[in-house]
Amino acid sequence: MDAEQWNIRIKGDVVNRIVKGSIAGGAGVALLLGGAGTFALWSESVTAEGGTVSTGNLDLALVADSEQWTDASPDVDENDTAFDPTTDSIVPGDVITFEQEFTVTAWGKNLRAQLQIDPDSYTIAQGVSDHVTVELELNSVGTTSATITEVNATTYEIDPNSDYDPGTTITFSGMVTITFDGDEETGANDSYGEEVDDAVDLDELAFDLTQVRP
């Protein structure tokens, strides 16, 4: 064999060895990489005593047999204040009240609520609507644990005080005042509002208690 052929053979052996070495080396790397998932990685956990969170409550209920009608007209004798809507009729200048007691249960850190007369639960007949008004006055009965704020003629805001005991009820008296204004001039029609049946219909009167946000 001449030198040139030898040289070629030598070069060929070197190339073969390099290729074989590269394959073997790659396999070793692959083995190392393939085994990486078997390493034990450290981890720790702790449990905090966070406690539990509960929801509050908002409830409204009527006090049975607490409703009362009264003739509160300013010129009526104090011994004659009884009023029966089934037999008595109102005339200009009259002020009639309907009082109903109810209980409110309300607790929650940021709980505030508005109590109002449902505007769709009563009607004033067209024949007297220009001179008859309906208003609500809300008062606490006994010791109260809430602040009462008037919003408008038929709505109050109730804000339980910080000393309010959750689960207990607060009793309120809702007084609905019906006023038949007799001071305004009616022009030529001096018989305004006469003989109007169901002039003020409170038969389905409803009180609504609704949560509000500041």
What's 71-109 look like in SS3?
ECCCCCCCCCCECCCCCCCCCCCCEEEEEEEEEEEEECC
Global pTM reads 0.72
- Backbone torsions φ then ψ of 175, nearest 5 degrees: -105, 115
Per-range mean pLDDT, top range of 7-16, 115-124, 192-201: 115-124
Q: How far is CA 186 from CA 35, 74, 138, 172, 178, in A?
A: 101, 21, 32, 38, 19
Per domain, the residue ranges of the chain are: 3-34, 57-183+198-212
Size of the chain, expressed as the number of residues it contains: 214
- 152-211 pLDDT, tens per residue? 999 999 988 877 777 788 899 999 999 998 765 555 556 667 777 888 999 999 999 999
Share of the chain above pLDDT 70, in %: 77
Q: Rounded to the nearest 5°, which phi and psi values hold at 3?
A: -65, -35
Please compute the mean of the pLDDT values over residues 82-108 and round it to a whole number.
93
| Cα–Cα separations (whole angstroms), residue 64 to 61, 100, 102, 192, 193 | 9, 9, 8, 37, 34
Return the residue matching tokens 């083995």.
Answer: 31
Question: Mind listing the pLDDT tens digit for each residue in 21-71?
Answer: 555 555 555 555 555 556 789 999 999 998 999 898 999 999 999 999 999
Nearest Cα neighbor of 128 from 180, 73, 164, 69 is: 180
Please provide the average confidence, as pLDDT, over all residues in the chain. 82
CATH (one of 3.20.20, 2.60.120, 2.40.128, 2.20.28) for 57-183+198-212: 2.60.120
Region of 125 (left: φ > 0; alpha: ψ -120 to 50; beta: rest) is: beta
CA distance 5 to 117: 114
Contacts of 201 (CB under 8 A, 6+ apart): 122, 123, 124, 125
For residue 201, give the nearest of 182, 165, 181, 176 by alpha carbon: 176
Yes or no: say if 125 and 193 are a contact pair by the CB < 8 Å rule: no
